[in-house]
Structure 1
């Protein structure tokens, strides 16, 4: 089977199940709710509309900060869909007929990567639309600039889409390395929702630790995007990579995991 045929087969396989749109729906709701809540509070603070002696915050960069909610809190969804693209094959034993139809296993992995790029762009559009739609209204309502006409803002949107694509590819790599679906999903959630956030929070308190934690995947993703609601509360913001360096680090994670998966797991016998 050619790469084009394998890609068509993989596309049918991924979009014929409900998992992709269920995760996309949860992504949209989760990001929209978070962006709306932060949009109201931050926009009110920036316009001086909060009651009492509540602290104000600068308007500069506020729009980009709110829009980055799509990646800073939503990146786990493209990571999960990428992981399940592979682990579901092992769990439901559909990889055996796939390899029989396409004996060149590397071609199957390439097909998954191409479909993963498509899913990354799709999830990126959904997540970005959810964060922008939920927070831009509050910015405009409080008389603040939405920056939607800014070239720099659209460049940030492009980097957000790139981050989503890279997270899907990382997920495919994780799925290829950790073939057990439950183990892979639990590992992804523990790392993204507990281990890395704790490590990055500790880095804001321990001198010099941020020089290490800036190379963690979530930190690299935030650096690629150029804004993150997760770093705004850290003293001094901590060390951060340039956007292009963050992208290379994130790409590096994807390449290493994919190579490991191909060499260690993808070539093993399946039943």
Structure 2
């Protein structure tokens, strides 16, 4: 079987099941709600509408901060999609007929990567729209610049979509390496929602730790995008002064994906499937 045929088969698997669009709906709700709340609060704070007792925010760069909510809080969704692309097959044992039809396992994995890239683009477009539409509405409503006329804003959107693609690839690598679906999902959630945030926050209090935490996948993703709710909010250990250059962040995140895929292929993918 050729790569084209394997990719067509993999696309049929992914787009005819409910996993991707269920997570897409949750992504829309989660990112949309976050962008709506923050769009209102940040826009009101930037214009002084919250009153004398309210916090103040500079209007410069506010649009990029709000738009980046899709990647700042929504990156876990493409990560989960990539993980489920593989672990679901292990769980339901659908890999057995797949490997019988396509004995070259590297070809099967390559097909998953190609389809994963397509899913990352789709989720990226959905995520960007979910954060940009409500954010821009509040910015315009408060008389602030939406920056749609700036090429940097559109470059930001492109980098956000690229981040979604890379997170899907990281997820595929996790799924290939960790066959157990429950273990893989729990590991993903524990790391992204607890371990890394705690580590990045601790970097604000431990000298030198920031030099390490900026290379963590979430920090690399923020650097790639070039804006983040966390860096703008000034959270400890997340200052923009310590961020990587955007292209370095992309290379680091891609490196995580490649290392996980390589280890998974060598240590797990080639093992027998029952």
- Tell me the TM-score normalised to structure 1 length: 0.98
Number of aligned residues? 271
Are the counterparts in 2 of residues 87 and 180 from structure 1 also a CA contact under 8 Å? Answer: yes
Are the counterparts in 2 of residues 204 and 238 from structure 1 also a CA contact under 8 Å? Answer: no
Partner of 1:251: 254
Give the drift of 1:207. 2.1
Aligned residue for 2:229, secondary structure, equals coil
Partner of 2:34: 34
Q: How far, CA to CA, are the matches of 1:11 and 1:2 in structure 2?
A: 14
Aligned: 1:16 with 2:16: yes
Give the drift of 1:208. 1.7
* Deviation sequence 1:214-253 (CA, Å, 0-9, x none): 0000000000000000222225445110000000000000
Give the drift of 1:23. 0.1
Partner of 1:263: 266
Q: How far, CA to CA, are the matches of 1:128 and 1:55 in structure 2?
A: 27
* Deviation sequence 1:29-76 (CA, Å, 0-9, x none): 100000110010000000111023212110000000000000000000
Q: How far, CA to CA, are the matches of 1:237 and 1:116 in structure 2?
A: 30
Q: Which moved more, 1:187-196 or 1:200-209?
A: 200-209
Partner of 1:73: 73
Contiguous gaps of at least 5 residues in structure 2:
none
Partner of 2:53: 53
Partner of 2:143: 143
Are the counterparts in 2 of residues 204 and 237 from structure 1 also a CA contact under 8 Å? Answer: no
Partner of 1:88: 88
Aligned residue for 1:53, secondary structure, equals coil
Partner of 1:197: 197
* Deviation sequence 1:54-100 (CA, Å, 0-9, x none): 12110000000000000000000000000000000000000000000
Q: How far, CA to CA, are the matches of 2:252 and 2:181 in structure 1?
A: 25
Q: How far, CA to CA, are the matches of 2:122 and 2:28 in structure 1?
A: 12
Matches within 5 A, 1:80-119: 80-119=80-119
Aligned residue for 1:206, secondary structure, equals coil
* Deviation sequence 1:74-129 (CA, Å, 0-9, x none): 00000000000000000000000000000000000000000000000000000000
Aligned residue for 1:159, secondary structure, equals helix
Aligned: 1:228 with 2:228: yes
Partner of 1:163: 163
Q: How far, CA to CA, are the matches of 1:229 and 1:238 in structure 2?
A: 15
Q: How far, CA to CA, are the matches of 2:205 and 2:133 in structure 1?
A: 35
